Homo-oligomer: A and B are copies of this chain.
Amino acid sequence: MIVITSNLTPEEQVQDIIAVIEREGLQVHLSRGADHTVIGLVGGVTPKLAEHLRQMKGVQNVVKISKSYKLASRDFHPEDTVIDIRGVKIGGENLVIMGGPCAVESPEQINEIARLVKASGAQVLRGGAFKPRTGPYSFQGVGVEGLTMMAEAGKRHGLLTITEVMTPEYVDICAEHADILQVGTRNMQNFDLLRKLGTCGRPVLLKRGFSATYDELLNAAEYILAGGNRDVMLCERGIRTFETYTRNTLDLTAIPVLQSLSHLPVISDPSHGTGRRELVAPMSKASVAAGANGLIIEIHTDPDNSMTGDGVQSLFPDQFDALLRDLEKIAPLVGRKFSNSPEAVSVV
């Protein structure tokens, strides 16, 4: 349930309302917007309490939210969430571009790709240190060392960094080295991981499970939000269907749907969403035209020899550059502008 007060409601009255709710043993989440302050109640609300709140001073309305998620819903938080990471804004009218290899392989590799990604105008460097692999005998990532290699490349070239975290015990070390933590498609419902990310102090990009409904994705986000972390991005990365020509079926309708149900930024991943290099550019353009708040794209300088074998879906750097030039033209037609670029940091 949510209690809506206007912005003219004095702070004193807001605090009175909160006190009443907490006295009943319920938790309170506050969302202050331009026009309204919305007080979310977490826990079982009795009809008596609802009625009591409805009659308090400063309350405009008391609304029962039938959705199972609350903090993630636009009913609770009508305005777009805009995440600010060292000056780089994600959400709202901003279009963020994340680029990089599937996996960090060596300092040279990640540095060179970072240089190219930055030169093309991206703001975030992607790269996996820990790789989720279907079978136990495949390359599993270079591990913790990969985190430091990527952090250094990001600082040197003026890029934020994003990396996947697969298990609660690695959240802290990933949070130490990366600016954004990513939850992979197979872990969307790894609830202990989600809970841990709720207190990690870093923005989280949550990928949709390859067979998860919109509702399940938003409930997964709710786990992170309920832990106190408000900086969550949703990511469409393709769903599993009967079609086998593409690796997945990129569901671009997810973009406007999630944006209508939720205030969280929605990022599109055309690399995993299609699994084929030649489809990344058209689906990136389509993602932006559909209203995406950002893109996460695999690029590689030597895709045929990538260690994960995912090179077939990686763009060559010049293709990435050409794509970004096209996106710069499309973005303003759908109310988007490139996020501003982070500064390089001197690396000793």
Contact = CB atoms under 8 A, between A and B. Distances in A.
Contacts of A282: 255-256, 289-291
A334 interface: yes
Nearest to A220: B134
B239 A240 contact: no
A252 interface: yes
A4 to B, nearest CB: 20
Interface residues of A, number: 69
Given A256-B283, A286-B290, A213 B244 contact: yes
Contact of A213 (B135, B242, B257, B333): B242
A189 B288 CA distance: 31
Interface in A176-229: 186-187, 189-192, 195, 210-211, 213-216, 219-220, 222-223, 226
Contact of A252 (B191, B242, B286): B286
Contacts of A278: 256, 260
A76 interface: no
B132 A243 contact: no
Contacts of A239: 241-243, 249
B256 A251 contact: no
A252 B265 CA distance: 21
A99 to B, nearest CB: 19
Given A216-B134, A241-B239, A290-B285, A257 B253 contact: no
Interface stretch (A11-19, A50-58, A115-123, A162-170): A162-170
Contacts of A187: 189-190
Nearest to A218: B135
A191 B132 contact: yes
Contact of A274 (B42, B245, B253): B253
Nearest to A185: B189
Interface string A134-153: 11111000000000000000
Nearest to A330: B333
Given A42-B137, A135-B68, A330-B333, A249 B242 contact: no
Contacts of A245: 213-215, 257
A166 B242 CA distance: 25
Contacts of A211: 210-211, 240, 242
Contacts of A274: 253
Interface string A324-347: 001001100110000000000000
A216 B278 CA distance: 22
A7 B243 CA distance: 38
A250 interface: yes
Contacts of A134: 68, 189, 215-216, 219-220
Nearest to A257: B245
Interface in A251-305: 251-253, 255-257, 260, 273-274, 278-279, 282-283, 285-291
Contacts of A290: 282-283, 285-286, 289
B135 A219 contact: yes
A320 interface: no
- Per CB-CB distance, the 7 closest pairs between chain A and chain B, nearest first, are A211-B211, A289-B289, A286-B290, A167-B192, A186-B189, A286-B286, A285-B289
